[in-house]
Amino acid sequence: MSGLDPDDTSYDSVDVFTTGTIGRPGQRTFYLQVRVGADHVDVKCEKVQVAAMAEHLRNVLQDLPPVRDRPLPGALDMTSPPHERFVLGQIGLGYDPRADQVVVQLEELGELDEEGDPIDDDLDRVRVHLSREQAAAFCDHAESVVASGRPDCRWCSRPIDPDGHPCARMN
């Protein structure tokens, strides 16, 4: 496979699966990025989605043989500027034992009906097959990116803005 085809939604192997942000702490926009060569697909997401993915992937990896190598940390830097393909809705995570790969499916956020089912069946999806090493490296990097935000107040546990923090417990 050469490059990322915008009409193709499944990638059997990728060079990089990573996360990154644009903006300063407290105003960051999170992205997931899939790269093959110089091409990339960017999906806008929420901080909690990145944290949840890392946590779940760690749980999946715990039940598998340990990883041997990980990509170099610099290889997980996000290519800028991101070009948003869609906003992330549902995330599917699993493991394919035959291929010894972790499978990540990212689905576009769409409108839901009263029961919580999608109204539109034509939502964009990206499915990525990762080696266990890539999945472990994603977890390490994602946890670092999530933790690099605003520090929490030691008294009320709310985030401290760069301009200060009106802490109710400090009055």
| pLDDT value for 2 | 44
| DSSP secondary structure letters along 109-122 | ---B-TTS-BS-S-
Q: What is the pLDDT of residues 95-117, one digit of tens each?
A: 999 999 999 999 999 887 888 77
- 123 touches 141 (CB < 8 A): no
Tell me: pLDDT of 171 over 80: no
- Rounded to the nearest 10°, the torsion over CA 5, 11, 16, 22 is 60
Instruction: Say which DSSP state 152 is in.
Output: B
Residue ranges of alpha helices (H) inside the chain are 47-62, 132-147
Digit-coded pLDDT (tens) for 14-32: 999 999 999 988 889 999 9
**Phi-psi group of 121: left, alpha or beta (phi > 0 → left; psi -120 to 50 → alpha; rest → beta):** alpha
Residues ≥6 apart with Cβ < 8 Å to 120? 110, 111
Per the prediction, the chain carries an average pLDDT of 86
Q: Nearest CA to 134 among 32, 22, 42?
A: 32
**pLDDT of 120 over the 90 cut:** no
Task: Indicate the pairing of strand 125-131 with strand 29-36.
Answer: unpaired
Domains and CATH numbers, the chain: 10-170 (3.30.2450)
